[in-house]
């Protein structure tokens, strides 16, 4: 309990994670029962990876005199979970680009110098027959550049709404003339469609093709999948 949950570093990791800090547990088994009972499957998976990365961090500090940050622990947990899930489904081979783009990251990180990050999210309001699309651009210093929220009327599935959000963001980025952009999303289906050559005659497939064409016009565009906790700003804009 102390090493993985209650020490000051571990506690900060949990407070900063999408799982949150769960105190007042008499044992690690009690803590596990609480997590598996009350958390979603994705949060349970993240929680186990965070435990592992906290343990690795502890060993690195004791045996190798290496000090890592809370952000490094959380993002490495999300990235390794993403790699594990991809390997299980045999989606594709994971290479060094995964580490660079932080696929599956849990918290936001600044891009490399000369690049900007655009976080995109969509919100579906089925009862009102509309969707809201939000995106936030930040530079390599982590500074705010611009944000946008656009509404659309109609009946759309969640993945169609997320894909429309990417298309809207790319159209907007084209106007800004930003040649080096990392577009981040928390919808794995859309990310896979954009990066694995998906095509189809239906609405979703056509939106994905539009996104690819816009990306080619803009310049160097990289797509990245992140956990919702790392996409909070765009989620908030879409819900505003």
Unique residue bearing structure tokens 């929680």: 47
Alpha-carbon span 169 to 100, nearest angstrom: 22
What percentage of the chain exceeds 70 in pLDDT? 90
Report pLDDT digits (tens) over 32-88: 999 999 999 999 999 999 999 999 999 999 999 999 899 999 989 998 888 888 777
User: What's the whole-model pTM score?
Assistant: 0.71
| Length reported for the chain | 240
Q: Nearest Cα to 189, choosing from 161, 217, 148? A: 161
Most confident of 97-111, 176-190, 219-233: 176-190
**Lowest mean pLDDT: which of 24-33, 93-102, 119-128, 230-239?**
93-102
Residue 177 is given by DSSP the state T
Q: The sheet that has 180-185: what strands, in order across it?
A: 144-153, 130-138, 116-125, 180-185, 220-225
Residues whose CB is less than 8 angstroms from the CB of residue 170 and which lie 6 or more positions away in sequence, other chains included = 183, 211, 214, 215, 218, 221
Could you give the C-alpha distances from 115 to 56, 71, 110, 211, 221, in angstroms and in order? 31, 20, 9, 19, 10
At 58 the pLDDT is 95
The C-alpha angle with vertex 83 and arms to 79 and 84, in degrees rounded to 5, equals 115
Superfamily of domain 108-239: Ribonuclease H-like superfamily/Ribonuclease H (3.30.420.10)
Percentage of residues of the chain with pLDDT beyond 90: 65
Please state, in angstroms and rounded to a whole number, the distance separating the CA atoms of residues 90 and 70: 30
Q: How far apart are CA 117 and CA 4, in angstroms?
A: 32
Tens of pLDDT, residue by residue over 195-229, are 887 877 778 999 999 999 999 999 899 999 988 87
Domain regions of the chain by residue span:
2-89, 108-239
């Amino acid at each position: 309990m102390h090493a993985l949950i209650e020490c000051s570093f571990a506690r900060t990791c949990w407070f900063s994670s999408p799982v949150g800090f769960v105190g007042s547990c008499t044992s690690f088994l009690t803590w596990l029962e609480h997590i598996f009972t009350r958390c979603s499957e994705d949060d349970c998976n993240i929680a186990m990876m965070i435990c592992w990365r906290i343990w690795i961090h502890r060993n690195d500090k004791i045996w190798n005199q290496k000090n890592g940050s809370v952000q490094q622990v959380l993002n490495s947990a999300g990235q390794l979970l993403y790699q594990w899930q991809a390997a299980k489904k045999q989606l594709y081979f994971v290479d060094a680009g995964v580490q660079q783009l932080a696929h599956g990251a849990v918290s936001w990180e600044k891009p490399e110098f000369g690049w900007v990050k655009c976080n995109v999210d969509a919100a579906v309001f089925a009862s009102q027959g509309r969707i809201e699309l939000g995106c936030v651009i930040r530079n390599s210093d982590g500074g705010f550049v611009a944000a946008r929220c656009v509404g659309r009327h109609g009946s759309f599935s969640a993945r169609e709404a997320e894909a429309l959000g990417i298309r809207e963001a790319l159209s907007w980025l084209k106007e800004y003339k930003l040649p080096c952009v990392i577009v981040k999303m928390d919808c794995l289906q859309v990310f896979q469609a954009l990066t694995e050559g998906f095509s189809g005659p239906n609405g979703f497939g056509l939106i994905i093709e539009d996104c690819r064409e816009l990306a080619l016009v803009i310049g160097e565009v990289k797509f990245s999948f992140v956990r919702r906790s790392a996409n909070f700003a765009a989620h908030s804009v879409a819900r505003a």
